[in-house]
Structure 1
Amino acid sequence: MKHNPLLNVLLMTGMLLAGQVDAAVRPLLTRVVAYAADRETAVEVVNGSSETYMVQSWLEDLQGGDSNIPLVLTPPVMKLEGNTQGKLRLVVMKGAIPQDRESAYWLSIQEIPPKAKNPSENRLLVAIRNRIKVFVRPDGLQAGDARVAAAQVTWSIEREGGKNWLKASNPTPFYISFGELAVGNGAGKGIRLEDKKQMAPPKGTMRYLLPQTLKPGKLTVIWSSIHDWGGVGEEYKAGVAL
């Protein structure tokens, strides 16, 4: 293939713009909670532009796999007129989900920009993809219990390979998404941990790398969790020894 410098410039421009341009099509919520007891769960999607977009949606597990997903998503592709809202629907396959804990998946919503009306018109099309978490709850798990689950997390220190890790132990059946996760040797907010985006899984553990600048001694862990509506809940504190 003949090298095309202009094509390279356009591709680089597209990548730069992708981080700056707001999506025309986006979900109204930053996370979805689907209950197995419900017939279906609606996911509201809005097209904030004046143009018509096609919208493609799909589900993946937390590792990016798309097989054996115990959810049915419809429609996988839909047309969304300008300045209107649409609905995706999630149906939980009850028998295929764990019955003693929450499950989590990724929902990707990809906008497909409209083609130029004039074939001779030069347009740089940037398609934006939104990805939000879907939490699936079996019968018996309630929203009120999820809201206070973060208070039950306990903390310890692990050492491996010359590095120190803060380990979160989550005894609850809910995923804990941290809104705030920081550690410090004294008063104040401490140092925010960069990998707080890793959720503490239900009835499991997750660990977070501690900065090497922390001095040995007593540490204060400060944390809060993101609740079902995407806001940040109550803040908690606990002490651990480094």
Structure 2
Amino acid sequence: MIIRNLVQLRYHLTPLRRFLVSIPKKGQTIKIMYTGSQTLPSDRESVFWFNVLEVPPKANKNENSAAQNTLQLAFRTRIKLFYRPQGLGDLAGEAPAKLTWRMKHEQGKSVVTVNNPTPYFVSFNSIELESTGKNISSTVKWLLR
């Protein structure tokens, strides 16, 4: 199996690409370390995307026809990585309570804006609002803008 992995800084589209070859029935460990080669802010967290694409090997054409009737899947995994400078401490759990929310109407649509005054990232997988007795819920499609 060939594994392609890369780490992206938020939306930078020129990531450093790495390839690994996984030996059958063996695992592979990927170690991610901050080396200091790129200057990161010391007053707030930085977010990265760790992308992994696992591609299985091609089926052997010399095998019998029963072995060729297989389904092979390639998996793409995206994981958010956070780098927290040492000086920030362990107050990240308090960040959600410090968010401020504002709802306004633009071009006939309701728009919700969240302001995060903390140095920590806060991730959402859904948002639920209650307005005039009605519940409005939505999944968050893309939060980092």
Q: TM-score, normalized by length of structure 2?
A: 0.77
Match of 1:141 among 82, 88, 106: 88
- Report the counterpart of residue 101 of structure 1 in structure 2: 44
Distance in 1, matches of 2:22 and 2:7, equals: 20
Asked whether the equivalents of residues 126 and 139 of structure 2 are also in contact (C-alpha less than 8 Å), the reply is no
Consecutive unaligned residues of structure 1, counting only runs of 5 or more, are 1-52, 200-205, 207-242
For residue 195 of structure 1, report the CA deviation from its aligned partner.
Answer: 2.8
Percent identity among equivalent residues? Answer: 28
Q: Alignment length, in residue pairs? A: 140
- Report the counterpart of residue 21 of structure 2 in structure 1: 79
For residue 161 of structure 1, report the CA deviation from its aligned partner.
Answer: 2.0
- Report the counterpart of residue 115 of structure 1 in structure 2: 58
- Report the counterpart of residue 114 of structure 2 in structure 1: 168
- Report the counterpart of residue 137 of structure 2 in structure 1: 192
| CA offsets 1:87-121 (integer angstroms, 9 cap, x no match) | 11212143511111111121111112122233464
| CA offsets 1:109-158 (integer angstroms, 9 cap, x no match) | 1112122233464655432211111111222123x312221111111123
Distance in 2, matches of 1:196 and 1:124, equals: 30
RMSD: 2.8
Any idea what SS the aligned residue of 1:81 has? coil
For residue 184 of structure 1, report the CA deviation from its aligned partner.
Answer: 0.8
| CA offsets 1:161-198 (integer angstroms, 9 cap, x no match) | 2222111110111111014421013679x321233651
Q: TM-score, normalized by length of structure 1?
A: 0.49
Distance in 2, matches of 1:106 and 1:146, equals: 19
- Report the counterpart of residue 8 of structure 1 in structure 2: none
Pairs within 5 Å for 1:1-242 = 53-63=1-11, 65-66=13-14, 76-94=18-36, 96-119=39-62, 121=68, 125-142=72-89, 144-185=90-131, 190-195=135-140, 197-199=142-144
Any idea what SS the aligned residue of 1:151 has? helix
Consecutive unaligned residues of structure 2, counting only runs of 5 or more, are none
Asked whether the equivalents of residues 178 and 196 of structure 1 are also in contact (C-alpha less than 8 Å), the reply is no
